[in-house]
Amino acid sequence: MLARTDSESVVLVMERDLGLPPNEYRLLSPGTPKQFDRQMASRHREGFRFTGARGMFDGWLLVVVERPITEQERVEPPPEEDPHYLAIDRRDRQKLFDSVGEAAKRGYRILVTVHRGFTGGGDVVLLEKATAPGRPYSYFFLGRPDDEALEERLNEGGAAVYRFLPILDPRVELIMERAPNDSDPASYRTVSASAANQVADELAAARRDGYASVGIYGNSLILEKAGAASTGRR
C-alpha cells in the first residue's frame, strides 16, 4: 500500500499467512514514460506484477511491483509484441484522450492515473495489456467536474454503460471504464457532507435505495446502483 506524508512517500507492506509463498518487492522511480516502459518490461519478464504507483515530489513517480518468492521462469516476448505495461504522459487533454483511446483499441486497460508523475509535467495514465484485440475496454472522459457537476456527469457516463474507476488520482481527469462484457447501465449518487453524522445519514438513505459505495473522487464519496441510470441530481 502506498501512502504519502507532507514530505515523503511511504510504502507499507503487510504479508498474510495463507500458506502461500511470501512476496518480494521492487521499487522503481522511472523519470520518463520510455523509462517506465523499459523497466516494467524487464520486471514483467522476471515475473513481477504491478502493485501500485504514487506521484512523488519534483515530478517523480514511485512504482511498486511484486512477485512470489519462487523459482521464476524467464519469458522473452516476441520483439514485435506490444509491451505488457504502458505509460502515457500528456499535458494536452485531447492528446491524452486520443492516446488512451488508441491504447484501449490495442487491448490495454487503465491500471491507475497519477498527477504529473514524470518529469515531463503531464498527467500520467498507466495501462496493462488485458484483452484480445477486437474486444477492447473503452473509456469515457468527463473532465474535472466540481462537486455540483460530479453526480450529473457520473450519471451521464453510467447511462452509456461506463463505470466509475476507483483507482484514479482525483487531481487527474475523471475517466470511466466500460469492460467488453458490460451491458447494464448504472446510476450514481454522491455524498460530500461536512459532518460525520450527516455522511452516515446520507449513506444509510442511499443503501435503502439500493446504492453501494464504490470509491472516492476528490471530496465526494461515490455510490453506484446497477440498473437504469438517472439523468441528473436528486
The whole-number average pLDDT for the span 132-159 is 87
65-83 pLDDT tens trace: 999 876 656 555 566 578 8
> What does 57-120 look like in DSSP terms, one character per residue?
TTS-EEEEEEEESSPPPP----TTSPPSEEEEEESSHHHHHHHHHHHHHTTEEEEEEETT-STT
Residue 219's pLDDT is what?
A: 83
In the predicted structure, residue 114 carries a pLDDT above the cut 60: yes
Cα torsion for 47, 48, 49, 51, to the nearest 10°? 160
Q: Say whether pLDDT at 232 is over 60.
A: no
**pTM metric for this prediction:** 0.78
pLDDT of residue 108: 93
